[in-house]
């Protein structure tokens, strides 16, 4: 019996072959930067210039990057699978969109958007962000931050995500270490509802024991093979 309500959760590993660094692999972002200094509201409060520079560097890398075959295959599954495919990403890059995914839930926000810390206004932002930038809605200066979810902040669209997970019959995690909550808890939520669970990763994640099946290898190779099977009558 094939899957008809699929939830896919992606992490930094799906963008690794596009040249965007992961967080916890050797040499990853959390080896280069102190997470508490660049990915928390407290760090932003202590040194906003450092935080803006951190995201300016990632935004520049994102602009230079291109989607890889894993992003393309996920978009193909979303467009061609006869059932419902929900894509939730922890990533803040726009590579799923640029691979033509029709719907992407960015639970940790988006690098190419800005948020006003004073009034909550959100708008598109493609270039560098500085301390002198102002909010187009409330005109505040010095309150413009990347529209990303830092540690200790509420992820976006959690109710919608949980509703899809409660209803899914297949949960697939692609390129995520299973180290960050609430995303790392989704597989247990899905299992509790009777869904099958599949992990596609370079190596087993922290919560690997919760997955019924595993496909190991680079996402750019493994995801297209999996999608072909899903669309070729395998599911």
Structure-token match 């948020």, residue found: 115
The C-alpha angle with vertex 98 and arms to 97 and 104, in degrees rounded to 5, equals: 10
Please report how close the Cβ of residue 77 comes to ligand BV8 at its closest, in angstroms: 16
Task: Sketch the per residue contact string, 70 through 99, with ligand BV8: x for CB under 6 A, - otherwise.
Answer: --------------------xxx-------
Q: Which helix or strand (DSSP H or E) is residue 26 part of?
A: none
Which one among 41, 83, 142, 218 touches ligand BV8, defined by CB under 6 A? 218
Strand order, beta sheet including 109-116: 122-124, 109-116, 144-148
CB neighbours of residue 142 within 10 Å:
14
- 132 or 181: whose CB is closer to ligand BV8? 181
Nearest CA to 46 among 36, 56, 58? 36
Residues 99, 29: Cα–Cα separation, whole Å: 24
Told to judge if 81 belongs to the known catalytic residues of this protein, a careful annotator would answer: no
With contacts defined by CB under 6 A, name the span among 43-51, 116-124, 177-185, 227-235 that binds ligand BV8: 177-185
Please report how close the Cβ of residue 176 comes to ligand BV8 at its closest, in angstroms: 3
Please report how close the Cβ of residue 106 comes to ligand BV8 at its closest, in angstroms: 9
Please report how close the Cβ of residue 89 comes to ligand BV8 at its closest, in angstroms: 8
Q: Which residues lie across from 196 on neighbouring strands?
A: 170
205 binds ligand BV8 (CB under 6 A): yes
Nearest CA to 170 among 1, 24, 7, 23? 7
Residues 109, 90: Cα–Cα separation, whole Å: 8
104 binds ligand BV8 (CB under 6 A): no
27 binds ligand BV8 (CB under 6 A): no
CB neighbours of residue 124 within 10 Å:
9
207 binds ligand BV8 (CB under 6 A): no
197 binds ligand BV8 (CB under 6 A): no
Residues 144, 49: Cα–Cα separation, whole Å: 11
Please report how close the Cβ of residue 68 comes to ligand BV8 at its closest, in angstroms: 8
Task: Sketch the per residue contact string, 133 through 172, with ligand BV8: x for CB under 6 A, - otherwise.
Answer: ---------------xxxxxxxx--x--------------
Residues 235, 216: Cα–Cα separation, whole Å: 19
Which residues participate in catalysis according to the annotation? Answer: 108
Residues that bind ligand BV8 in the complex, under the rule CB under 6 A: 11-13, 16-17, 22-25, 28, 39, 90-92, 108, 148-155, 158, 175-177, 179-182, 201-203, 205, 218-219
């Amino acid at each position: 019996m094939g899957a008809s309500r699929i939830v896919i959760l992606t992490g930094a590993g799906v963008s690794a072959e596009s040249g965007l660094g992961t967080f916890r692999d050797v040499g990853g972002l959390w080896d280069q930067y102190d997470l508490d200094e660049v990915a928390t509201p407290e760090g932003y409060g202590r040194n906003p210039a450092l935080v803006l520079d951190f995201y300016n560097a990632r935004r520049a890398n994102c602009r230079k990057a291109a989607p890889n075959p894993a992003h393309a295959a996920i978009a193909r599954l979303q467009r061609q699978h006869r059932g419902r495919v929900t894509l939730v990403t922890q990533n803040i890059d726009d590579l799923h969109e640029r691979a033509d995914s029709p719907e992407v839930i960015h639970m940790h926000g988006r690098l190419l958007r800005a948020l006003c810390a004073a009034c909550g206004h959100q708008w598109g932002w493609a270039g560098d962000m500085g301390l002198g930038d102002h909010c187009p809605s409330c005109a505040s200066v010095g309150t413009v931050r990347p529209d990303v979810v830092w540690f200790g902040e509420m992820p976006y669209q959690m109710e919608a995500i949980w509703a899809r997970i409660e209803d899914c019959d297949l949960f697939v995690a692609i390129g995520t270490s299973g180290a960050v909550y609430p995303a790392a808890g989704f597989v247990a939520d899905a299992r509790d509802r009777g869904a099958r669970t599949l992990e596609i990763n370079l190596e087993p994640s922290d919560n690997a024991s919760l997955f019924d099946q595993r496909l190991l290898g680079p996402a750019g190779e493994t995801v297209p093979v999996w999608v072909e099977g899903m669309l070729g009558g395998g599911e």
